Structures are given as C-alpha cells and as structure tokens.
Amino acid sequence: MNNKKIAVDFDGTIVDDAYPAIGKPKIFAFETLRKLQSEGYRLILWTYRHGRALDEAVEFCLKNGVEFYAVNSSFEGEVFDSENQSRKIDADWFIDDRNLGGFPGWGEIYNIIQERIEFRVEGKEVLAYSKLKKEKKKGLFW
C-alpha cells in the first residue's frame, strides 16, 4: 500500500460539467477512484464548489462508493489560515479537466498513475516522457 495523495476536481472530471447541478458521472470515474483507494491512494476532493453545492458533491460521491481523505484541504480537519498558509493544497498528483492537454479519460489516468508516466509540452502537443525517443548524450554531462 502507498500513501500518495491525489487531488481530484469534481465538475468536468468526476462528473460532466453541469455546475451548480451535478452532471452525469464520467465513464469509469467512480470505478477508477475506488480502485485507487483500494491500492492505498488518499483522495482529496479539490473543487471550486463550496457550501451546499460542495455538500451535494461529497454526498453524491459517497453514494457512489467514494469517501475522500479530505475536501478542499490537504488533510481531514485542516483549518485554512490565510495568514500562514497557501491556498494550494499538498498532493502528489492533481487530476482536473482543465489541465494541459485536456482530460484524457479515467482509463488513461489510471495507466498514467500506475506507470508513473511524466509529460512535457512540445508545441501544441502534450507528450508522455515514457513514449519519447531518448536523445543520445553529446558530452560528458549532457
């Protein structure tokens, strides 16, 4: 088991974007999230939602078998103090439909996490480092 933290957006990522309503679940979203949890990943719901809309999203996920390690915070019970903390949460990975290259789908996300695939942007294309040709070293150190 591992203890990596994955921050996951809600609208457009777990469900189709219908904010402030809750959209239809994305294909394999809940199956993938439950699988990641069973492998020891700690999931953080990381969303713009707040108040009642946030409560509805958390409840929707619970009904679909996903209980989050934390919600809009780095750990359960964290109290945000703007004087001493950054708004950015502590996570190893962030899954969001607005990332570079768009949302790849939950099957791809699972493979990316399992295979530890890293990326770089080349022009208008996002390329996985694991799929790139390795350049021969030209000198002693590079």
pLDDT band at 13 (very low <50, low <70, confident <90, very high): very high
Counting the structural domains of the chain, the total is: 1
What would the pLDDT profile of 14-70 be if each residue is shown by its tens digit? 999 999 999 999 999 999 999 999 999 999 999 999 999 999 999 999 999 999 999
Tokens 């294309």 locate to 125
In-domain check, residue 82: yes
Q: Give the 3-state DSSP-derived string for 75-98, with helices as H, strands as E and coil as C.
A: CCCCCCCCCCCCCCCCCCEEECCC
In-domain check, residue 140: no
- What DSSP state is assigned to residue 26? P
In-domain check, residue 108: yes
- Range of 20's domain? 5-130
Q: pTM of the full predicted structure? A: 0.76
In-domain check, residue 73: yes
CATH at residue 42: 3.40.50.1000
Q: Within the chain, how many helices (H) and strands (E) appear?
A: 3, 6
In-domain check, residue 115: yes
